[in-house]
Structure 1
Amino acid sequence: MDAVLREYVPADRAWLVAAHGRLYARDEGFDDTFAPLVNDILAAFEAGHDPARETGWVAEVEGRSVGSIFCVDAGDGRAKLRLFLVDPVARGQRLGARLLEACMGFAQARGYRGMVLWTHAEHRAACALYQRAGWRCLRSEPVRSFGVDLTEQTWEIDFR
């Protein structure tokens, strides 16, 4: 299964919102407040991102969208990784690693001094991927979000 990574376009928003909502409800038990948050994040990105310093990718297999990742400016010389998703049909193919490498490479090429991300410890495969790529967990705390109890985490990586 060869995935093609292409730049996000606004027409991808409906798929991204639906995929995040469906997969997080199924796999994590998230309630219906999560998909609208994804929609808000994408609407803000579309309305005001700096294409020279921020971008998003959609992974496709045979024309079907199966993954995403975004790099946005977090301020203070850092980029922020957002909306990282790999559909279960495409897992186990190194697609997550390819998306992460593309995002980190973009951030480095644009002169960011590092990156940050926010996730949940329950996303074990993603957290293991971040750790293998050199990220470190800065903060971990129990929270109640999207109708479930989670362990919220903040991760970072320095490029310099």
Structure 2
Amino acid sequence: MTVELRDLGEGDADWLVTQHGRLYARDEGFDDSFPVLVRQVLDDFIAHRDPARERAFIAWEDGARLGSIFCARSDDPDAAKLRLFLLMPEARGKGLGRRLLAENLAFARQAGYARMVLWTHESHRAACALYAATGWRLLRSEPKISFGVPVVEQAWEIDLSTPRGKNFRD
């Protein structure tokens, strides 16, 4: 797979909102409030982005977008947030998720963050398995109703100074 990772560009935000809404409705049963949240996250990222501390990675191959991952600031200056990690179905199972995660963590480390946090759902089994395999620690798991459906929300964290966090590609 010859995939180029680009920063956020023209049309990417609209594509991300559309694909998140479409895929999460199809796969998770999420309602129309989910793409609204994705749009809010993107609008905030674009309006307040600090390029030294925040980055978007959009995966492209042969003129088509295949996925994304973002490193965003959090309320804690020592912690970055992993946001908008998405892989199109045709790109799954080929190592692209691992590559996006590795690039995102490397950027966060280079930007001076001590740790990275994320919020996800237990139903995202492949992503959660990737987090566990690459040194992330599950902090919290709790049942809720979100986006019109029952979910189990999870919070994960990785220490960016740990050897496993530095070398997880091996």
TM-score (norm 2): 0.92
Q: How does 1:63-142 map to 2 (within 5 A)?
A: 63-74=63-74, 75-142=76-143
The SS at the match of 1:23 is helix
Gaps spanning 5+ residues in structure 2: where?
162-170
The residue identity in structure 2 corresponding to 1:27 is D
Paired positions, count: 160
Say what the alpha-carbon RMSD is for the aligned residues: 0.9
Is 1:148 the equivalent of 2:156? no
Give the Cα separation in 2 of the matches to 1:89 and 1:27: 14
Q: Deviations over 1:89-146 (max 9, x none)?
A: 1111100000000100000011100100000011000000001110010000000000
The residue identity in structure 1 corresponding to 2:137 is R
Q: Structure 1 residue 76: deviation in Å? A: 3.5
Give the Cα separation in 2 of the matches to 1:63 and 1:39: 23
Q: Structure 1 residue 10: deviation in Å? A: 4.6
The SS at the match of 1:2 is coil
The SS at the match of 1:53 is coil
The SS at the match of 2:112 is coil
Gaps spanning 5+ residues in structure 1: where?
none
Give the Cα separation in 2 of the matches to 1:41 and 1:159: 24
Give the Cα separation in 2 of the matches to 1:159 and 1:40: 27
* Equivalent residues of 1:10, 1:46 under 8 A apart: no
Please list every run of at least 4 consecutive aligned residues from structure 1 whose deviation after the TM superposition is greater than 4 angstroms: none
Is 1:14 the equivalent of 2:14? yes
Give the Cα separation in 1 of the matches to 2:10 and 2:41: 12
- State, as a whole percentage, how many aligned pairs show the same letter: 56
